[in-house]
Amino acid sequence: MKILIFGKGYMGARCASAWGEDTVLSDVFVNSVEDVLKEIERVRPDAVLNAAGVRGKPNVDWCEDHARETIRGNTLLPILIAEACQEAGTYLLHMGSGCIFYGDSPHDDRAWREDDHGNPVPVYSRSKWAADLVLSTLPHVGIARIRMPIDWTPSPDNLIDKLARFPKVIDVENSVTIVDDMVSVFHALMDQRAAGVFHVTNPGTVKHREILELYRELVDPAHACEWIGNDDLVAQGFATKGRSNNFLSSARLGEHGIAMRPVRDALRDTMMKYAHAKKSNL
Ligand SMILES: NC(=O)c1ccc[n+]([C@@H]2O[C@H](COP(=O)([O-])OP(=O)(O)OC[C@H]3O[C@@H](n4cnc5c(N)ncnc54)[C@H](OP(=O)(O)O)[C@@H]3O)[C@@H](O)[C@H]2O)c1
């Protein structure tokens, strides 16, 4: 399967390196439907992955003061890419985010379903939810929502690195995405040309405290941090807006015969590989 990826950032580059030669990581900065059509014409892919977007640098709080850039990257851009894919008859997998949900869902198990409506307040989350709302009306489009990617490759964007470098950490519990599993799931979704919304998160939930306990056990026994309450994140000035914490149900993957490893198994395996990568300076 030939895959064309837009967005050569953290996720786009990681997917391209996992999938190898039959994948093209586009250099094009998309401003129009024509830009995308030209790339599709050049590459002739079986599927397109949209891994382009605006997450904010140094973090998502940037989006609060840059609403237009954020909307352009996370709402308008996916619509341009989807429009081109519809015209070319090419399947599109769009990367969404699970952080469109805040708090517990209305269901007894507190987990958000793929067809639940988002309740986001911050600009970034609202711009992502807006794209989901419109793209989910189109045929041959899949929306893969991920959360807090955890990978064995050290990177400033990896949740392991983020938690390890914060002097003060909130102990919250979340659904997360183990990136090794994510790249396989994305490939399977594109192979099936699966339409609709998918939560690409590993079964189970994990606390920040558990991730750092594993980090101390396998990577750095000397690591230390101070634990603070969730509300302290904004109260102590570490963030402008509170972060989304939630549990996601990934039942729709199961309906497509796609499974991810239980989060604790996948996390231990990933942390072991991460420790190895750190030691080998990978
Ligand atoms: N990483 C996470 O924690 C996370 C979690 C949930 C969902 N996601 C979603 O996953 C997707 C990929 O995220 P990421 O972590 O890989 O972000 P990233 O590292 O910031 O990469 C995004 C890439 O998209 C590029 N881009 C922006 N506008 C573009 C345009 N018009 N045409 C072509 N490329 C454009 C950016 O280029 P420039 O750098 O030049 O602007 C950047 O290289 C995003 O949709 C994000 O919302 C990520």
**Can you give the CATH number for the domain in which 123 is found?**
3.40.50.720
Say how many Å lie between the CA of residue 251 and the centre of ligand 1: 26
5, 6, 8, 10: residue to mutate for ligand 1 pocket, most atoms within 8 A of CB: 10
Residue nearest ligand 1's atom 27 by CA? 53
- Given a cut of 70, the residues of the chain with pLDDT beneath it are 282
Q: Residue 93 belongs to what H/E stretch?
A: strand 91-97
Say how many Å lie between the CA of residue 52 and the centre of ligand 1: 4
Q: Report pLDDT for 151.
A: 98
Residue nearest ligand 1's atom 12 by CA? 51
Say how many Å lie between the CA of residue 9 and the centre of ligand 1: 5
Domain that holds residue 91: 3-279
Residue nearest ligand 1's atom 31 by CA? 30
Residue pair 6/43 in contact (Cβ under 8 Å)? The answer is no
Q: Report pLDDT for 230.
A: 82
8, 25, 54: residue to mutate for ligand 1 pocket, most atoms within 8 A of CB: 54
Helices and strands per DSSP (H, E), number in the chain:
11, 12
Q: 96 has which bridge partners?
A: 145
Residue nearest ligand 1's atom 46 by CA? 53
Q: How many structural domains compose the chain? A: 1
Q: Report pLDDT for 84.
A: 98
Q: Report pLDDT for 282.
A: 62
Residue nearest ligand 1's atom 24 by CA? 52
Q: CA dihedral defined by 136, 141, 142, 143, rounded to 10 degrees? A: -50
Say how many Å lie between the CA of residue 11 and the centre of ligand 1: 7
Say how many Å lie between the CA of residue 10 and the centre of ligand 1: 7
What end-to-end distance do the CA atoms of the chain give, in Å?
A: 28
Residue pair 200/145 in contact (Cβ under 8 Å)? The answer is yes
Say how many Å lie between the CA of residue 272 and the centre of ligand 1: 27
Q: Report pLDDT for 244.
A: 83
- Residues with beta carbon inside 6 Å of ligand 1? 6-12, 29-30, 51-55, 73, 77, 95, 97, 128, 146, 149, 157
Chain-centroid distance of CA 18 in Å reads: 16
The distance between the two most distant Cα atoms of the chain, rounded to a whole number of Å, is 55
**55 CA closest ligand 1 atom index:** 20
Phi, psi of 206 (to 5 degrees): -145, 145
